Amino acid sequence: LLVYRNLTQFYPDAPDVFIALGDLYHADSVTEMDTARLQYEKALQLDPKNRLAKIKLGRNYASQRSFHESNEI
């Protein structure tokens, strides 16, 4: 987790780094779902057409039972 956090400093414009960090937060625990969501959203800010980020963000919303948000992606 620390390694990917550091990578975001070295590659602040790389959506894949934020997606990977979001995956780590998502897998870590239910309490980290909001942090994971922020990482996926950052990836989409960097690349609004990134399908993987959209899928991951939708999965994150669905796991939090935020189905309305999930449908809007």
- Tens of pLDDT, residue by residue over 19-53, are 999 999 998 777 899 999 999 999 999 999 999 99
Residue 70 makes CB contacts below 8 A (sequence gap 6+) with: 58, 61, 62
- Reduce the secondary structure of the chain to three states and give it as a string: CHHHHHHHHHCCCCHHHHHHHHHHHHHHCHHHHHHHHHHHHHHHHHCCCCHHHHHHHHHHHHHCCCHHHHHCC
What pTM, to 2 d.p., does this model score?
A: 0.84
Using an 8 Å Cβ cutoff, are 21 and 15 in contact?
A: no
Share of the chain above pLDDT 70, in %: 96
